[in-house]
Amino acid sequence: MNDASIMELLMNRDENAIAELKCKYEKICLYIAGNVLSQREDAEECVNSAFYELWNNIPPARPDDLKAYLCRIVRNIAINRLEYNSAAKRDSSLTVSLDEISDCVPATPDSGVDVNELADAISRFLRTQDQLHRRLFVRRYTYGDSVAHIAQQYGINEKTAATYLFRTRKKLKAFLKKEGYDYE
């Protein structure tokens, strides 16, 4: 079933929408949550919470990209669960990736920052990058993949992947500064 059909089911409050979402997106959602959390049970709970949150948000929300919207919800719930589970013991690999990008984009933006506008700005920036750099960035900071896994997946040296990510973050920081987002 395509996303437009699933959206219609959600808009009509048809419970079959959840079954279709699970069928189509549960695997990628578990992957994202699993990269954030070490316990499979926690990841599964986050995914179920994300489906529930999506059910509650649509309507009135009507996202253009259902997959991206759902993945963002899963990632945010998983990060919140990680923070809850680890409190002061922040030793997760995702924490490292969040620390990397925190120079450009804070984990919790100020109340004066419109998160949707910030997300749109980041999307605009990523569209200006070449395909490899964009994919590396998304794999690292959306899916939470390790640099070693990303390097292996794209057939490049781990240090090269790290350098590409560093340069992309540097460009993102400059882009966001021009857009009026300055987090220093």
DSSP state for residue 38 in the 8-state scheme:
S
Distance (Å, whole) CA 156 – CA 55: 40
Distance (Å, whole) CA 124 – CA 134: 11
97 and 84 within one domain: no
97 and 184 within one domain: yes
Last residue of a domain, one of 27, 53, 88: 88
| Parent domain of 100 | 92-184
**In this predicted model, what pLDDT tens digit does every residue of 102-138 receive, in sequence order?**
777 755 555 466 777 888 888 899 999 999 999 999 9
Cα 158-102-172 angle, rounded to 5 deg: 70
Which CATH number is 29's domain given?
Answer: 1.10.1740.10
184 and 101 within one domain: yes
82 and 109 within one domain: no
Total structural domains in the chain? 2
Q: What is the reported pTM?
A: 0.60
Distance (Å, whole) CA 135 – CA 153: 11
Last residue of a domain, one of 57, 88, 119: 88
Last residue of a domain, one of 56, 88, 120: 88
34 and 83 within one domain: yes
Cis peptide before 106 (omega within 30 of 0): no
pLDDT over 90 at 162, yes or no: yes
103 and 84 within one domain: no
Distance (Å, whole) CA 154 – CA 152: 6
**In this predicted model, what pLDDT tens digit does every residue of 51-66 receive, in sequence order?**
999 999 988 888 889 9
Alpha helices in the chain (DSSP H): 3-11, 16-36, 40-57, 66-86, 93-101, 115-127, 131-141, 147-154, 158-178
Distance (Å, whole) CA 83 – CA 100: 17
**In this predicted model, what pLDDT tens digit does every residue of 68-106 receive, in sequence order?**
999 999 999 998 888 887 765 544 555 556 667 777 775
66 and 18 within one domain: yes
User: Distances in Å between the alpha carbon of 34 and those of 30, 74, 96, 167?
Assistant: 6, 10, 15, 27
83 and 108 within one domain: no
Give me 42's structure tokens.
């926690």
Give me 10's structure tokens.
């959600």
User: Distances in Å between the alpha carbon of 130 and those of 26, 127, 135, 147, 172?
Assistant: 29, 8, 9, 18, 13
98 and 112 within one domain: yes
